């Protein structure tokens, strides 16, 4: 059941990152700069982050399944409409709408996992979920670039919408297994805001959410520009970029559940600093412009770093409050605000050069890795 629910997150992340590797091609198609068209990513990610603040708490009140179905249905409709965009501005606007409507799937699935798995076994289930998330990111980037070379970017959005329909039908077919009501209620908007404020009064919550934000900024900023990195440094076309990015997501897809079990057994206080350090090292080495094969391996290592951090953050988040929807909604909000801000910041400093921008991000992550040893020393 975890895998079936995670499919919805897979397709949303597939769509979320499939345009990043084809930014050069989109800039040529619409006759605008790469920097202009790059705002497609933060428009989607920032709006997604804002929407998650409301969907997860609503799932506490009305149930997980109705929220997932509503969000996935809206995602399918607007994704299909995006294939009809006639300008970059229309594309950016439709991506913004997609983020607003699609924000109910991932955090609500995390809430469902929190409902059904005790903390000592939650790492395994979340490892599967984040494995699908990483796989969606990876295959969205690689398959997006490859498919664009054959069918064009418009058909790419329509293919994703069709896959979304198939996943929605599968969920509806299994609805008896997933339908549930919750006794918790959120009440008014004021009560919901109060719940968020109470949560952030906890030092453990502030520490964890801060690292979720910074780690999200790091990974999204880098990954949103990996397609351009390979285009600029190795002169690869769409197919070449797609193949170069195939390694991203493979560690999470195959190792995600095992990494979760390792965290459950050996402690998140050990795995999280190792994951942040691995990500920092991978990006610093990428900025030094090694041969193509080495850079492809470093992309896979960057993916592994994500799988060693974000699922573990999510497991910690689910223990912060009895209102899992509130805690998880804030987690998703912070994560996607980080995604949007990371890609936006790198867009703003890209004039330094792609390698220099990567180096700046990598050095900042290295500093965060050193501090994380102290920040998470008491986590189990």
- Tell me the pLDDT of the chain (380 aa) as tens digits: 777 888 888 899 888 878 877 777 788 888 888 778 878 888 887 888 788 777 867 777 777 888 889 999 999 999 999 999 989 899 999 999 999 999 888 878 877 777 777 766 666 777 778 778 777 877 777 777 778 778 888 998 999 999 999 999 988 887 776 655 444 444 555 666 777 788 888 899 999 999 999 999 999 889 878 888 998 899 887 778 778 877 776 666 666 667 666 766 777 888 899 999 999 999 999 999 899 999 999 998 998 898 888 888 888 887 887 766 678 778 878 887 888 788 889 888 988 999 999 999 999 999 999 999 998 988 87
Other Cβ atoms less than 10 A from the Cβ of 355: the count is: 14
Total structural domains in the chain? 1
Query: What CATH number is attached to the domain comprising 161?
Result: 1.20.1250.20
Query: Is position 65 within any domain?
Result: yes
Distances (CA, A) of 142 to 47, 134, 173, 214, 240: 24, 12, 30, 25, 9
Query: Is position 168 within any domain?
Result: yes
Query: Is position 189 within any domain?
Result: no
Identify the pLDDT of residue 118: 73
CA dist 118 and 94 (Å) reads: 39
Range of the domain at 62: 2-175+203-375
CA dist 117 and 207 (Å) reads: 24
Check the CA dihedral 289-294-296-297 and report its sign.
Answer: negative
- Residues whose CB is less than 8 angstroms from the CB of residue 136 and which lie 6 or more positions away in sequence, other chains included: 9, 10, 11, 12, 13, 14, 16, 17, 249
Distances (CA, A) of 177 to 41, 227, 278: 35, 40, 39
pTM of the model: 0.74
Query: Is position 365 within any domain?
Result: yes
Identify the pLDDT of residue 122: 67
Query: Is position 196 within any domain?
Result: no
Closest Cα partner for 358 from 242, 251, 219?
219
Closest Cα partner for 3 from 253, 336, 331?
253
Query: Is position 197 within any domain?
Result: no
Identify the pLDDT of residue 33: 83
CA dist 71 and 231 (Å) reads: 34
Query: Is position 165 within any domain?
Result: yes
Query: Is position 314 within any domain?
Result: yes
């Amino acid at each position: 059941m975890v895998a079936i629910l995670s499919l919805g997150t897979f397709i949303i992340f597939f769509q979320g990152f499939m345009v990043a590797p084809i930014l050069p091609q989109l800039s040529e198609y619409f006759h605008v700069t790469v920097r202009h068209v790059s705002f497609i990513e933060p428009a989607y990610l920032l709006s997604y982050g804002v929407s998650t603040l409301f969907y997860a708490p609503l799932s506490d009140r009305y149930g997980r399944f109705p929220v997932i179905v509503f969000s996935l249905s809206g995602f399918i409709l607007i994704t299909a409409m995006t294939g009809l965009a006639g300008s970059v501005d229309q594309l950016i606007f439709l991506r913004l709408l997609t983020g607003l409507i699609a924000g109910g799937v991932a955090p609500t699935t995390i809430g469902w996992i929190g409902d059904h798995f005790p903390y000592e076994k939650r790492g395994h289930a979340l490892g599967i979920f984040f494995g699908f998330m990483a796989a969606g990111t990876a295959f969205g980037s690689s398959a997006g670039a490859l498919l664009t070379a054959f069918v064009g970017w418009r058909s790419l959005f329509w293919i994703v919408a069709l896959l979304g329909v198939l996943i929605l039908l599968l969920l509806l077919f299994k609805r008896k297994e997933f339908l549930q009501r919750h006794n918790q209620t959120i009440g008014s908007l004021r009560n919901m805001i109060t719940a968020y404020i109470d949560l952030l009064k906890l030092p453990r919550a502030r520490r964890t959410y801060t690292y979720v934000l910074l780690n999200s900024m790091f990974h999204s900023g880098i990954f949103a520009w990996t397609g351009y990195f390979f285009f600029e440094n190795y002169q690869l076309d769409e197919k070449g970029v797609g193949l170069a990015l195939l390694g991203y997501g493979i560690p999470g897809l195959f190792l995600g559940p095992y990494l979760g079990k390792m965290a459950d057994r050996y402690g998140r206080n050990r795995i999280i600093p190792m994951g942040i350090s691995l990500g920092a090292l991978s990006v610093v080495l990428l900025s030094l412009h090694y041969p193509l094969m080495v850079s492809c391996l470093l992309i896979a290592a960057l993916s592994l770093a994500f799988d060693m951090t974000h699922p573990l953050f999510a497991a910690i988040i689910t223990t912060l409050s009895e209102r899992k929807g509130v805690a998880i909604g804030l987690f998703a909000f912070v994560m996607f605000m980080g995604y949007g801000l990371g890609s936006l910041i790198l867009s703003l400093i890209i004039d330094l050069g792609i390698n220099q921008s990567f180096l700046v991000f990598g050095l900042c992550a290295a500093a965060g890795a050193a501090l994380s040893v102290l920040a998470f020393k008491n986590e189990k």
